[in-house]
Amino acid sequence: MKLEINNAHIVDPANQLNKVTNLYVNNQTIAAVDKSPEDWHADEVIDAKGCYLFPGLVDIATRLREPGHEHKATIASETYAAISGGITSVACLPDTDPTIDTPAEVELIQQRAQSAGHCNVYVIGALTTNLEGNMLSEMAALKQAGVVGVSNVLHPMANNLVQRRAMEYASSQNLTLFYHPMDHDLAANGCVHEGMFATRAGLAGIPTAAETAAVGSCLAMIEQTGIRVHFCRLSTQRALQMLERAKFDGAPISADVCAHQLFLSDHDIIGFDSNYHVIPPLRSHTDIAGLRHRLSSDIIVSVCSDHQPHERDAKLAPFASTEAGISALETLLPLAMQLVKDEVISLVNMISLMTHMPADLLNIKAGTLTPGHNADLCLYNPNIEWRLTPENMHSRGKNTPFLNRTFKGKVTHTFVSGKLVYQSQYD
Amino acid sequence: MQHFLTTESLSKDQLTNILDTAESFINIDGRTVKKVPLLRGKTIVNLFFEASTRTRSTFELAAKRLSADILNMNINASATVKGESLLDTLRNLEAMDVDMFIVRHQDSGAAEFLSRHISPQISIINAGDGRHAHPTQAMLDMYTIRKEKGAFENLKIAIVGDLLHSRVARSQIHALRSLGAKEIRVVAPRTLLPARIDGLGVKVFHQIETGLKDVDVVIMLRLQKERMLGALLPSEHEYFYLFGLTQERLALAADDAIVMHPGPINRGVEISSEVADGNQSVILDQVSYGIAVRMAIMSMLAGNPS
Average confidence score pLDDT of chain A? 97
- CB-CB contact of A33 with A10 (8 Å): yes
Give tens-digit pLDDT for B4-37.
999 998 999 999 999 999 999 998 777 788 899 9
- Cβ of B85 within 8 Å of Cβ of A317? The answer is yes
The verdict on A205 touching B (C-beta cutoff 8 Å) is: yes
Report if residue B38 sits inside a domain: yes
Q: How far apart are alpha carbons B241 and B209 in whole angstroms?
A: 12
Give tens-digit pLDDT for B106-163.
999 999 999 999 999 999 999 999 999 999 999 999 999 999 999 999 999 999 999 9
Which residues of chain A are within 8 Å of residue B194 when distances are taken between CB atoms?
A: 198-199, 205
Say whether both B125 and B140 belong to one domain. no
Say whether both B76 and B119 belong to one domain. yes
Query: Secondary structure of chain B in the HEC alphabet?
Result: CCCECCCCCCCHHHHHHHHHHHHHCECCCCCCECCCCCCCCCEEEEEECCCCCHHHHHHHHHHHHCCCEEEEEECCHHHHHCCCCHHHHHHHHHCCCCCEEEEEECCCCHHHHHHHHCCCCCEEEEEEECCCECHHHHHHHHHHHHHHHCCCCCCEEEEECCCCCCHHHHHHHHHHHHCCCCEEEEECCHHHCCCCHHHHCCEEECCHHHHCCCCCEEEECCCCHHHHCCCCCCCHHHHHHHHCECHHHHCCCCCCCEEECCCCCCECCCECHHHHCCCCECHHHHHHHHHHHHHHHHHHHCCCCC
Confidence of residue B82 (pLDDT cuts 50, 70, 90): low
B contact test, residue of A186, A196, A200, A276 with most B CBs within 10 A: A200
Say whether both A274 and A352 belong to one domain. yes
CATH number of A302's domain: 3.20.20.140
Interface of A with B in 59-88 (CB under 8 A): none
Report DSSP state, residue A326.
Answer: B
Q: What is the pLDDT of residue B76?
A: 74
Q: Once rounded to an integer, what is the mean pLDDT over residues A306-323?
A: 96
Say whether both A90 and A168 belong to one domain. yes
Report if residue B173 sits inside a domain: yes
Q: How far apart are alpha carbons A41 and A24 in whole angstroms?
A: 10
Say whether both B163 and B114 belong to one domain. no
Report if residue A368 sits inside a domain: no
- Cβ of B196 within 8 Å of Cβ of A196? The answer is yes
Q: What is the pLDDT of residue B223?
A: 92
- Beta A17-26 vs A2-12: how paired, if at all? antiparallel
Report if residue B148 sits inside a domain: yes
- Cβ of A200 within 8 Å of Cβ of B8? The answer is yes
CATH number of A48's domain: 2.30.40.10
Which residues of chain B are within 8 Å of residue A313 when distances are taken between CB atoms?
A: 85
- CB-CB contact of A50 with A383 (8 Å): yes
Report if residue B155 sits inside a domain: yes
- CB-CB contact of A321 with B49 (8 Å): no
- CB-CB contact of B259 with B281 (8 Å): yes
Report if residue B266 sits inside a domain: yes
Cβ-based neighbours of B95, under 8 Å, separated by 6 or more = none
With a cut of 60, say whether residue A427 has pLDDT above it.
no
Smallest Cα distance from B120 to chain A, Å = 18
Report if residue B5 sits inside a domain: no
H or E element that contains A124: strand A120-126
B contact test, residue of A191, A199, A267, A311 with most B CBs within 10 A: A199
The verdict on A198 touching B (C-beta cutoff 8 Å) is: yes
Smallest Cα distance from B169 to chain A, Å = 11
Q: What is the pLDDT of residue B77?
A: 57
Q: Which segments of A247-365 are extended strands (E)?
A: 253-258, 300-304
Say whether both B211 and B178 belong to one domain. yes
Q: How far apart are alpha carbons A300 and A234 in whole angstroms?
A: 10
Say whether both B167 and B87 belong to one domain. no
Which residues of chain A are within 8 Å of residue B86 when distances are taken between CB atoms?
A: 317-318, 321
Say whether both B224 and B124 belong to one domain. no
Say whether both A106 and A240 belong to one domain. yes
The verdict on A195 touching B (C-beta cutoff 8 Å) is: yes
Say whether both A12 and A84 belong to one domain. no
Q: Once rounded to an integer, what is the mean pLDDT over residues A104-118?
A: 97
The verdict on A318 touching B (C-beta cutoff 8 Å) is: yes
Q: Once rounded to an integer, what is the mean pLDDT over residues A241-258?
A: 97
Q: Once rounded to an integer, what is the mean pLDDT over residues A191-203?
A: 97
Report if residue A367 sits inside a domain: no
**What are phi and psi for residue A186, nearest 5 degrees?**
-70, -35
B contact test, residue of A186, A194, A286, A321 with most B CBs within 10 A: A321
The verdict on A270 touching B (C-beta cutoff 8 Å) is: no
Say whether both B266 and B142 belong to one domain. yes
Say whether both A325 and A252 belong to one domain. yes
Q: Which of A95, A287, A306, A376 is catalytic?
A: A306
- Cβ of A320 within 8 Å of Cβ of B130? The answer is yes
The chain A residue lying nearest B131, using CA atoms, is A202
Q: Which has more pLDDT, A139 or B225? A: A139
Give tens-digit pLDDT for A77-97.
999 999 999 999 999 999 999
Show the domain range for B112.
12-132+290-301
CATH number of B24's domain: 3.40.50.1370
Report if residue A321 sits inside a domain: yes
Is A47 a known active-site residue?
no
- Beta B100-105 vs B183-187: how paired, if at all? unpaired
Q: Can you say whether residue A24 is alpha, beta or left, with left for phi > 0 and alpha for psi between -120 and 50 degrees?
A: beta
Cβ-based neighbours of A284, under 8 Å, separated by 6 or more = A193, A195, A265, A266, A267
- Cβ of A202 within 8 Å of Cβ of B85? The answer is no
Report if residue B198 sits inside a domain: yes
- Cβ of B108 within 8 Å of Cβ of A317? The answer is no
Output the CA angle A237-A243-A245, nearest 5 degrees: 100
H helix count then E strand count, chain A: 12, 18
The chain A residue lying nearest B85, using CA atoms, is A317
Say whether both A168 and A258 belong to one domain. yes
Pairs of CB atoms within 8 A across A/B: 73
- Cβ of A271 within 8 Å of Cβ of B109? The answer is yes
Q: Once rounded to an integer, what is the mean pLDDT over residues B184-189?
A: 98
Say whether both A79 and A18 belong to one domain. no
Overall domain count for chain B: 2
- CB-CB contact of B3 with B123 (8 Å): yes
Burial class of residue A387 in the structure, from the number of CB atoms within 10 Å of its CB (0-12 exposed, 13-18 middle, 19+ buried)? exposed
Q: What is the pLDDT of residue B306?
A: 40
A contact test, residue of B8, B9, B84, B108 with most A CBs within 10 A: B108
- CB-CB contact of A10 with A18 (8 Å): yes
Q: How far apart are alpha carbons A377 and A418 in whole angstroms?
A: 8
Report if residue A217 sits inside a domain: yes
Say whether both A23 and A108 belong to one domain. no
- CB-CB contact of B293 with B22 (8 Å): yes
Cβ-based neighbours of B219, under 8 Å, separated by 6 or more = B141, B157, B158, B159, B160, B169, B172, B260, B261, B262
Give tens-digit pLDDT for A121-176.
999 999 999 999 999 999 999 999 999 999 999 999 999 999 999 999 999 999 99
Q: Which segments of A259-402 are extended strands (E)?
A: 300-304, 377-387
- Cβ of A317 within 8 Å of Cβ of B87? The answer is yes
Q: What is the dihedral sign for C-alpha B251, B254, B258, B261?
A: negative
- Beta B217-220 vs B203-205: how paired, if at all? unpaired
Report if residue B7 sits inside a domain: no
Q: What is the pLDDT of residue B112?
A: 96
Say whether both B294 and B253 belong to one domain. no
Q: What is the pLDDT of residue B88?
A: 86
Q: How far apart are alpha carbons B249 and A83 in whole angstroms?
A: 68
Say whether both A129 and A10 belong to one domain. no
As a whole-number percent, the residues of chain B with pLDDT over 90 amount to: 81
Show the domain range for A416.
2-53+373-395+404-423
Overall domain count for chain A: 2
- Cβ of A313 within 8 Å of Cβ of B85? The answer is yes
Say whether both A267 and A283 belong to one domain. yes
Say whether both B74 and B171 belong to one domain. no
Smallest Cα distance from A354 to chain B, Å = 36
Q: What is the pLDDT of residue B229?
A: 75
Q: Once rounded to an integer, what is the mean pLDDT over residues A234-251?
A: 98
Q: Give chain A's end-to-end CA distance (angstroms, integer).
A: 23
Q: How far apart are alpha carbons A54 and B27 in whole angstroms?
A: 77
With a cut of 90, say whether residue B304 has pLDDT above it.
no
Say whether both A171 and A23 belong to one domain. no
Give tens-digit pLDDT for A325-354.
999 999 999 999 999 999 999 999 999 999
Report if residue A193 sits inside a domain: yes
Q: What is the pLDDT of residue B305?
A: 44
Q: What is the pLDDT of residue B27?
A: 82
R_g of chain B computed on alpha carbons: 19
The verdict on A286 touching B (C-beta cutoff 8 Å) is: no
Confidence of residue B78 (pLDDT cuts 50, 70, 90): low
Interface of A with B in 206-225 (CB under 8 A): 207
Say whether both A80 and A153 belong to one domain. yes
- Cβ of A199 within 8 Å of Cβ of B197? The answer is yes
Say whether both B121 and B146 belong to one domain. no
Say whether both B170 and B111 belong to one domain. no
Please state, as a whole number, how many other Cβ atoms lie within 10 Å of the Cβ of residue A50. Answer: 12
Q: What is the pLDDT of residue B201?
A: 97
- Cβ of A202 within 8 Å of Cβ of B110? The answer is no
Which residues of chain A are within 8 Å of residue B117 when distances are taken between CB atoms?
A: 316
Q: How far apart are alpha carbons A330 and A351 in whole angstroms?
A: 16
Say whether both B123 and B146 belong to one domain. no
- Cβ of B130 within 8 Å of Cβ of A202? The answer is yes
Q: How far apart are alpha carbons A68 and B74 in whole angstroms?
A: 35
